[in-house]
Amino acid sequence: MNNFFRRSFLFLACVLVCRAQTSAPSFAERLVKVALERVQHTVRYDPAYVVLDYPNGDVPADTGVCTDEVIRSYRALGIDLQKLVHEDMRRAFAAYPKDWGLRSTDKNIDHRRVPNLQTFFKRRGAALSVTQKAEDYLPGDLITCTVAGRLPHIAIVVPAADGSATPWIVHNIGQGPKHESRLFEFPITGHYRFHPR
């Protein structure tokens, strides 16, 4: 192969690699895609304690709560929050809330509790400032909030379906997974960007 063809071949290879790198969706884009796909599922809101497989355990597919939408979305991308939260709680149990009177970890439920997810995301360096500015919340972010003055809730930030500047959220607040314009409806208690890959 002469120098001209060698240089042409290397140039073409570089173009193809660069094009592949720029066209690959980011983790946030992939998280948004799987979160939006979740709204196609019929899920009955059910907070019941369930004994789960470990790792990758899940409650029945037709049941769940707000945390299960987050867990299922991350799991679709190969991230098992059940395992990650359980292992972190085993390492640093004292750092986690004691709201439930537990004296040790419980792999069946720990990852399904909003305060535990908040603690986990903070410990992983994923916490961001809570503001009232729509532009601070990017698709693929997570928010936690308080519903009815006392109930912790979690949702995934996604683009607005109507093209508005204020993002929407995917969440399950009682009627199964929904894509709704409710980002600032409840007092936000946490803002996270957990993109491990």
Class of domain 27-192: alpha beta
pLDDT score, position 7 = 43
Rg (CA), the chain: 20
pLDDT score, position 3 = 52
pLDDT score, position 13 = 41
Q: How many CB atoms lie within 10 A of CB 77?
A: 14
For the chain, how many helices (H) and strands (E)?
A: 5, 8
CB of 97 closer than 8 Å to CB of 112: no
The C-alpha atoms of residue 90 and residue 65 are separated, in whole angstroms, by 24
pLDDT score, position 2 = 56
pLDDT per 10-residue tile (average), the chain, 197 residues: 45 43 87 98 97 98 98 98 98 95 94 98 98 98 97 98 97 98 98 93
pLDDT score, position 102 = 86
